[in-house]
């Protein structure tokens, strides 16, 4: 692993990593464990093994409706984030030298807490349209998902051969043709990765969804939050585990298709 490192450091490192892994993954493991517990109340380690909570979750209209809402929302957010984010990334890659400020602006929702505009968005929306709606959530989620798409697409565009577009010009390609035949294919891996991130972000998003919620607009995380505020039973754990599994599946697909780590650092 590390070279020329004293033995005690190496052992210490392994133990440290193990503990860190435990710490980072503990809540997820706990949730998954509780979901298969047989007991009526929430307990970890789980007692017995049963899938009844999954059954209960799948039969509960509140959870099922929330799931479909989250799914629809995430799908539409993915589309809007990819279209807007892809276009923005292409534009940013062209304006690289003078585009520093604009790029920072686009990527700012990544580092700014969503609460900063959640409040104002609710207030603006109420003033214009009244009660919040699906479109409000769609708008809000797109704002947070957009920078993920931009970041992954920009990363891919940064590695491309800059001469391809010039070559296409010398071959008679007009602006639109170059966009379609050269630039968009170059973006594709970045857009795909961005799409997965966008879907995951939207599906899991809690803060904006909580601020913009109303009785008809309950996403899955909001539904879970509501249950957690009162007295949750293991059904919550079952639903949560399903959410974890969806995330894991998305990550696996992402890694298999494109290599996750290149988007991880930086």
Partner 1 sequence: MTDRRETWLLLSPGLVLLVVAFLLPIARMLVLSVQGPDGTTLVHFNRFFQDAYYPLVLWRTVYLSAIITLICMVIGFPLAYIMARSTPRIRLWLVIMVILPLMTSVVVRTFGWMVLLGRSGLIASSLRDLGLAGRSFQLMQTETAITLGMVQVLLPFMVLSLLGVLVRLDPRLEEAARTMGCSFLQTLRTVVLPLAAPGLLAGSILVFTLSASSFVTPSLLGGARIEMLAGSIYKNVTQTLDWNFAAAQAVILFAGIAALLIPYLKLGARPHG
Partner 2 sequence: MSDLKLTNIGKSFGKVEVLHGIDLTIRSGEFVALLGASGCGKTTLLRIVAGLDSVGSGKVEIGGTDVTDLPPEKRDIAMMFQSYALLPHMSVAENVRFPLRMRRQGARSEQAARVKAALETVRLAHLAERMPRQLSGGQQQRVALARAIVSDPKVLLLDEPLSNLDARLREEMQVELIDIHRRIGLTTLFVTHDQDEALSLSDRVVLMNAGGIEQEAAPRDIYDAPATAYASSFLGAANLLPAEISGGQARLADGQTLAVPAGTGAGAATLALRQENIDIGPDGSLTATVVTRVYLGARHRYILDLAGQRISVLAPASVMLEPGSAVRIGIAPDRIRVLPA
Query: Among partner 2, partner 1, none, what binds residue 177 when CB lies within 5 to 8 Å by partner kind?
Result: partner 2
Q: How far is CA 159 from CA 152, 164, 186, 187, 189, in A?
A: 11, 12, 9, 10, 12
Say if residues 149 and 89 touch (Cβ distance below 8 Å): yes
Query: Among partner 2, partner 1, none, what binds residue 134 when CB lies within 5 to 8 Å by partner kind?
Result: none
> What is the rounded CA–CA span in Å between residue 63 and residue 61?
5
Query: Among partner 1, partner 2, none, what binds residue 171 when CB lies within 5 to 8 Å by partner kind?
Result: partner 2
155 near partner 2, rule: CB under 8 A: no
167 near partner 2, rule: CB under 8 A: yes
Say if residues 2 and 10 touch (Cβ distance below 8 Å): yes
193: nearest Cα among 250, 112, 108 = 250
Query: Among partner 2, partner 1, none, what binds residue 168 when CB lies within 5 to 8 Å by partner kind?
Result: partner 2
For helices 61-94 and 220-229, what crossing angle results, to 10°?
130
What token pair was written down for 30?
A: 């706990």
The CB-of-232 to partner 2 minimum distance in angstroms stands at 50
Cα 2 to chain centroid, rounded: 33
Binding partner 2 (rule: CB under 8 A), the pick from 163, 229, 231, 265 is: 163
59 near partner 2, rule: CB under 8 A: no
82: nearest Cα among 168, 178, 189, 6 = 189
> What is the rounded CA–CA span in Å between residue 243 and residue 250?
11
Closer Cβ to partner 2, 98 or 265, answer by number: 98
Q: Identify which range of 48-56, 80-88, 181-189, 239-247 contacts partner 2 by CB under 8 A.
A: 181-189
Query: Among partner 2, partner 1, none, what binds residue 235 when CB lies within 5 to 8 Å by partner kind?
Result: none
159 near partner 2, rule: CB under 8 A: no
164 near partner 2, rule: CB under 8 A: yes
97 near partner 2, rule: CB under 8 A: no
The CB-of-227 to partner 1 minimum distance in angstroms stands at 9
Q: How far apart are the first and last CA of the chain?
A: 23
Closer Cβ to partner 1, 64 or 242, answer by number: 242
Q: Identify which range of 48-56, 65-73, 122-130, 159-167 contacts partner 2 by CB under 8 A.
A: 159-167
Say if residues 71 and 203 touch (Cβ distance below 8 Å): yes
């Amino acid at each position: 692993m590390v070279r020329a490192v004293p033995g005690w450091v190496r052992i210490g490192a392994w133990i440290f990593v193990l503990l860190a892994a435990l710490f980072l993954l503990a809540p997820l493991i706990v949730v998954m464990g509780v979901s298969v517990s047989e007991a009526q109340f929430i307990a970890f380690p789980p007692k017995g093994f049963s899938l009844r909570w999954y059954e209960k979750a799948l039969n509960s209209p509140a959870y099922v409706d929330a799931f479909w809402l989250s799914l629809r929302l995430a799908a539409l957010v993915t589309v809007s984030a990819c279209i807007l984010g892809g276009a923005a990334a292409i534009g940013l890659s062209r304006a690289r030298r003078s585009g520093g400020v604009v790029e920072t602006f686009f990527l700012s929702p990544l580092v700014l807490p969503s609460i900063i505009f959640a409040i104002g968005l609710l207030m603006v929306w109420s003033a214009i349209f009244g009660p919040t709606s699906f479109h409000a959530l769609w708008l809000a989620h797109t704002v947070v998902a957009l920078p993920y798409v931009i970041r992954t697409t920009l990363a891919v565009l940064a590695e491309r051969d800059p001469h391809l577009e010039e070559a296409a010009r010398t071959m008679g390609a007009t602006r639109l043709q170059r966009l379609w035949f050269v630039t968009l294919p170059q973006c594709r891996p970045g857009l795909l990765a961005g799409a997965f991130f966008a879907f995951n972000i939207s599906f899991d998003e809690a803060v904006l969804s909580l601020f913009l919620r109303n009785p008809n607009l309950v996403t899955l995380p909001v539904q879970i939050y509501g249950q957690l505020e009162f007295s949750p039973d293991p059904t919550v754990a079952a639903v949560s585990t399903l959410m974890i599994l969806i995330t894991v599946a998305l990550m696996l697909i992402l890694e298999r298709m494109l290599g996750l780590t290149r988007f991880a650092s930086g």
